Amino acid sequence: MADFLSAPTLVKLVTASRTQSLTGVGDFRPNLGEAWLVWGAQATSGGFSFTDGVNSINSSPDSGSATLITNSTYIHHSGSGVAVISAGLISEAQWIVSALVNGGADFRPPLGEAWIVTACNGGDFRLASAQGVAADSVPYRGLFNEKWDAPPNIPPSLDQNAMWPGLLLTNAVYLRNAAAAGTYGFVSAYKIPTTV
Amino acid sequence: MAIKSSFLFRPALGVNVIDQNISSGKVTFQPNLGELWMLGTVSVEGTPSTTTIGLTDGTNFFQFYNLTQTAQSSHNLIGLLPLFFDNGLYLSLGPGKVRATMFRLM
C-alpha cells in the first residue's frame, strides 16, 4: 500500500487562516511572498474584482470559490457596503501559480511541470495544444461541463466565465486567453509534484 | 478510521497527454500492468452523437459522456473527472480533436 503520508498535501501547506471585513472600498491583499487561498467572500452590495493594481476583472470570489491570491494579483472591494473575506495562508508559495493573463497570452506550465487550476475568470480561456486552440471557448466548468444555455445554467453567484477547479494543465495542453489584447483573465493553480 | 491525507496531493508518478485529431474510431490509453491513472482534463471536439468518452476493456465500451449531452454539441471539456483506469479497463475517447491530460497514481 502506498504511503500517502509521505506526500506534501495542500492541507499541510495551509498554515493560518485569515478573515477580514471591509466597509467600503478596500483591498484584500497578501503581503509580498505570501499566497492566500480564498475560501469564500460575500458583500452586501457586491463590487469584488481581481486586480493587479492596474488591470482588473469584474468578477466575484463568491462564497464557495477557491481562489489563490498573491501580492501581485489580489481582491479589490469597490462596493459601498460591507464585505467579509476568509482565506487560508499558504506558506509554501512555490506551489502556487497565479496570474492575470492578457488576451493572446498563455497560462502554460513549463516543461516538466503539471498544474491543476483552482479558478479562472474573465478573458476567453480555451484549451490549447499542438492542434491549436479549441474551437469553443469557456464558459465551462471544471467538473462536468455543459455548454451554457441562455440564460446560463449556472449558479447565480457564479460569473459566466468562472470555472470550477480541476483542469490538469501541462506544457502540451494548456490554457490560452483567446480574447483580444487588453482583455485580461485571471487564473490560479497549484503545482502538483510529479516525477515527470 | 481517520483519513490522514488526500491522494490527490500525493506526488504524481507521471503525467500523460493525448493530443490527437482522430478522424474515425477512438484513441485509447492503456496503462501498464499494475499502474493506476486518473483523468485530469479531457476535451473532445467532434461530431455530436458519435464522439464519446469512456472506458474499455478492449471489447466492451462503457460510455461516460457524449457530445449530445452538451447544449451546443460541439465541444466538451471535463476537468479532474475522478475517473480511474488501469490496464484492464482503460481510457477510450473520440473521434474528433482530442486533448486530454492524466496522471499516474500508482
Q: Tell whether B7 is within 8 A of chain A (Cβ).
A: yes
Cβ distance of B40 and A140 shorter than 8 Å: no
Would you call B101 an interface residue with chain A, using a CB distance cutoff of 8 Å? yes
pLDDT of residue A116: 84
Chain A: nearest CA to B84, how far in angstroms?
15
**Which of A145, A163, A192 has its CA nearest to residue A65?**
A163
B76 CB neighbours in chain A (<8 A) are 145
Answer yes or no: do A114 and B15 touch at CB < 8 A: yes
Q: Does the distance separating the beta carbons of A192 and B41 come in below 8 Å?
A: no
Chain segment A40-99, per-residue pLDDT in tens: 778 887 678 878 888 777 665 454 456 778 888 888 888 888 888 888 887 655 677 778
Please tell me the CATH superfamily of domain A14-90, with its number: Nucleoplasmin core domain (2.60.120.340)
Evaluate the omega torsion of the peptide bond into residue A155 and state whether it is cis, within 30 degrees of 0: no
Provide the pLDDT for residue B82. 67
Whether the predicted pLDDT of A137 surpasses 70: no
Same fold, A14-90 and A99-192: yes
pLDDT digits (tens, 9 = 90+) for A117-129: 877 777 778 889 9
A50-67 residue pLDDT tens: 788 887 776 654 544 567
Which pLDDT score is estimated for A43? 80
The pLDDT assigned to B20 comes to 94
Higher-confidence residue: A162 or A194?
Answer: A194
Ranges of residues in chain B whose predicted pLDDT is under 50 = 1-9, 69-74
**Chain B interface, mutation test: which of A113, A145, A188, A195, most B Cβ atoms within 10 Å?**
A145
- A19 or A8, greater pLDDT: A19
Positive or negative torsion for Cα B45, A128, B80, A6? positive
How confident is the model at residue B78, as a pLDDT?
59
Q: Where are the domains of chain A?
A: 14-90, 99-192
DSSP B11-69: PBSEEEEEEEEESSS-EEE-PPTT--EEEEEEEEE--TTT-EEEEE-SS-EEEEEEGGG
The cell for A57 is 476583472
Q: Report ipTM for this prediction.
A: 0.72
Superfamily of domain B13-104: Nucleoplasmin core domain (2.60.120.340)
pLDDT at A192 (0 to 100): 80
Domain ranges of chain B: 13-104
Decide if domain A99-192 falls under CATH 1.20.120: no
B78 touches A at CB < 8 Å: yes
Nearest Cα of chain B lies from the Cα of A133 at a distance, in angstroms, of 10
